[in-house]
């Protein structure tokens, strides 16, 4: 990577091992169920999560909408966080494509939804109300800075869902970051969930693709909805080959990205004019804010950094979100800190 791109972990390029595997991948028609590499990826993903089956999809967004539509029929209600990706960042797809009513509850600063808020969103059986069938939880929670949710919390949500006869979908775009931060494995962390979507294309470096895991019955339904949405991809083994490396080799090293994020936040805390809370950096995201009386505003700082080949884009006037990943090494962080210090001091 010739630039130090801190905008997101989605900017990651595939590693050379991935490119090699893609070149050599055995392929077939996946819509016929005949792509051996896709089948292997789905099998290994399911195994890793302790679920019966997996389904390779084009993106995290597709994984979420396929899952939500497999759980909810038209006119049904899905409870989710107000800043959840499924609600805020997927073009309103539950309503647009599924005829599903999102019932939004506040996301707490630690990334959780309060159980009492979830409970209050569950409709009673009355013709006035949409029937509530699903709860969606996001781990790590992006809008709060990549907060990891604990296995104990997911278990409490799962218990509530079981008691109320609801399904639980986990948007685990960065579930491996959560598992590393929580010191557990993804099977334990997601055991109460009926379905999980995770991204191969973020910190795990694959060029594209996500996987949904769940029961055989759920994946059978999900496969039809993937087709409905145009997600049957034929010789997708080319992509799944990179996905297998993402799954097998790239998950454990995420602790390195968490360490660089923490080092970045701690360094920023020493720069005058920057507000940051290093103690909130639990995974690979750093939220920072420039003081209103700082020498530069966000746009100006971003422009200066671009001259140094550092890409960091402001969200709003003074706020930034920086995300660390495979291509960001400790030396890059030192360089970025030195430059930010130079421009703001």
* Residues in touch with ligand PLP (CB under 6 A): 59-61, 64, 85, 138, 142, 171, 173, 199, 201, 210
CB contact at 8 A, 176 and 247: no
Sheet holding 195-199, edge to edge: 53-57, 210-214, 195-199, 167-171, 131-138, 76-81, 101-105
- Looking at the Cβ atoms of 85 and 282, the one nearer to ligand PLP is 85
For residue 101, give Cα distances in angstroms to 87, 92, 125.
10, 10, 16
In the complex, what is the shortest distance from the CB of residue 282 to ligand PLP, in angstroms, rounded to a whole number? 15
The CB-of-341 to ligand PLP minimum distance in angstroms stands at 30
In whole angstroms, the minimum distance from the beta carbon of 10 to ligand PLP comes to 6
Specify the residue, 93 or 294, whose C-beta has the smaller distance to ligand PLP.
Answer: 93
- Would strands 210-214 and 167-171 be described as parallel, antiparallel, or unpaired? unpaired
**22, 239 contact by CB (below 8 A):** yes
Q: Would you call 74 exposed, middle or buried from its count of C-beta atoms within 10 A (0-12, 13-18, 19+)? A: exposed
> Which residue number places its CB atom closest to ligand PLP?
60
As measured in angstroms, the least distance from the Cβ of 8 to ligand PLP is 8
Looking at beta carbons only, is 25 or 199 nearer to ligand PLP?
199
Q: 120 Cβ partners below 8 Å, 6+ apart?
A: 105
Q: What tokens appear for 174 in the block? A: 């960065």
Query: Which is nearer to ligand PLP, 8 or 37 (by Cβ)?
Result: 8
Question: How do beta strands 319-323 and 285-290 pair?
Answer: antiparallel
Cβ proximity to ligand PLP, 81 vs 314, nearer residue: 81
What is the distance of C-alpha 14 from the center of its chain? 18
Q: How far is the CB of 227 from ligand PLP (least distance, A)?
A: 18
In the bound state with ligand PLP, the residue whose beta carbon lies nearer, of 38 and 58, is: 58
Q: Cβ–Cβ contacts within 10 Å for residue 248, how many?
A: 13
- Minimal distance in Å, beta carbon 294 to ligand PLP? 29
Provide the minimum distance between the beta carbon of 345 and ligand PLP in the complex, in angstroms, as a whole number.
34
Q: Which is nearer to ligand PLP, 85 or 167 (CB)?
A: 85
Name the minimum Å distance from CB 139 to ligand PLP: 8
Residue 57 CB, nearest approach to ligand PLP (Å): 9
Question: What span, in angstroms and rounded, lies between the C-alpha atoms of 257 and 12?
Answer: 12
Asked if omega into 293 is within 30° of 0 (cis), the reply is no
Q: Which is nearer to ligand PLP, 64 or 112 (CB)?
A: 64
Give the residue with the Cβ less far from ligand PLP, 207 or 232. Answer: 207
Mind giving me the DSSP string for 313-344? Answer: -BSSSSEEEEE--TT--HHHHHHHHHHHHHHH
Ramachandran region, residue 273 (left: φ > 0; alpha: ψ -120 to 50; beta: rest):
left
């Amino acid at each position: 990577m010739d630039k130090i791109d801190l905008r997101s972990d989605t900017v990651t390029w595939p590693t050379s091992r991935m490119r090699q595997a893609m070149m050599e991948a055995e392929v077939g028609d996946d819509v016929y169920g005949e792509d051996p590499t896709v089948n292997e990826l789905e099998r290994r993903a399911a195994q890793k999560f302790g679920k019966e089956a997996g389904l390779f999809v084009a993106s995290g967004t597709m994984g979420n909408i396929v899952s939500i539509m497999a759980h909810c029929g038209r006119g049904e209600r899905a409870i989710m966080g107000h800043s959840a990706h499924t609600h805020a960042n997927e073009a309103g797809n539950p309503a647009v494509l599924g005829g599903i009513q999102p019932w939004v509850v506040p996301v707490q600063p630690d990334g959780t939804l309060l159980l009492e808020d979830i409970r209050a969103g569950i409709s009673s059986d009355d013709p006035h109300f949409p029937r509530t069938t699903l709860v969606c939880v996001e781990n790590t929670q992006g809008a709060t800075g990549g907060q990891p949710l604990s296995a104990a919390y997911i278990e409490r949500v799962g218990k509530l869902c079981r008691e109320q006869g609801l399904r639980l979908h986990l948007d685990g775009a960065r579930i491996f970051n959560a598992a590393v931060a929580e010191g557990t494995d993804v099977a334990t962390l997601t055991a109460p969930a009926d379905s999980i979507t995770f991204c191969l294309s973020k910190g795990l470096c694959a060029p594209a693709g996500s996987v949904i895991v769940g029961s055989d019955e759920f994946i059978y339904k999900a496969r039809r909805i993937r087709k409905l949405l145009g997600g049957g991809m034929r010789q997708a083994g080319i992509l799944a080959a990179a996905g297998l490396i993402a799954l097998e080799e790239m998950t454990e090293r995420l602790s390195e990205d968490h360490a660089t994020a923490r080092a970045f936040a701690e360094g920023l805390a020493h720069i005058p004019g920057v507000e940051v809370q290093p103690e909130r950096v639990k995974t690979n995201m750093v939220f920072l804010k420039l003081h209103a009386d700082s020498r530069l505003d966000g746009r100006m700082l971003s422009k200066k950094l671009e001259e140094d080949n550092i890409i960091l884009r402001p969200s709003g006037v003074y706020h930034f979100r920086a995300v660390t990943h495979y291509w960001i090494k400790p030396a890059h962080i030192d360089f970025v800190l030195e430059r930010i210090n130079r421009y703001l001091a």
